[in-house]
Amino acid sequence: MENYRHHADVAHTYHRLTNDGHMEPENIVSFQYNDVPTDPENPYPGKLFNAPSGAKPGIDVNQGFNKSYTGAEVTKVWRPH
């Protein structure tokens, strides 16, 4: 799970922007392949944690994270519509 930190950071930033009232969720566009939460190596399936501390994994930043584009919608290739 080499991209765990990147996935968790994007989700954490989404929550920071929306919870602090800086942006409305519908004004945020996110791109995340979203393979990390379901990776067999993830000890907490379906969850992403940021800022773990000691024995606690931290806050599940995947919960409530509105992903605009995931999976096959996320590529390196630009495809005009």
**Residue 61 falls within a domain, yes or no?**
yes
pLDDT at residue 52, as a whole number: 65
* pLDDT at residue 74, as a whole number: 86
User: Considering the domain boundaries, does residue 79 fall inside one?
Assistant: no
Please indicate, yes or no, if residue 80 is contained in any of the structural domains.
Answer: no
Phi-psi region of 58 (alpha: psi -120 to 50; beta: other; left: phi over 0): left
Number of domains within the chain: 1
In the prediction, which pLDDT does 4 show? 87
Q: Is residue 19 part of a domain?
A: yes
How far is Cα of residue 57 from the mean position of the Cα atoms in its chain?
Answer: 16
Q: Is residue 47 part of a domain?
A: yes
Q: How many CB atoms lie within 10 A of CB 1?
A: 13
Residue 81 lies inside a defined structural domain of this protein: no
Beta strands in 2-77 (DSSP E): 31-32, 49-50, 59-60, 69-70
30 is a domain residue: yes
78 part of a folded domain: no
Structural domain boundaries enclosing 20: 4-73
Give pTM, 2 decimals.
0.80
pLDDT in tens, the chain (81 residues): 778 888 999 999 999 999 978 899 999 999 988 899 989 998 889 999 987 666 777 889 999 999 999 988 887 777 676
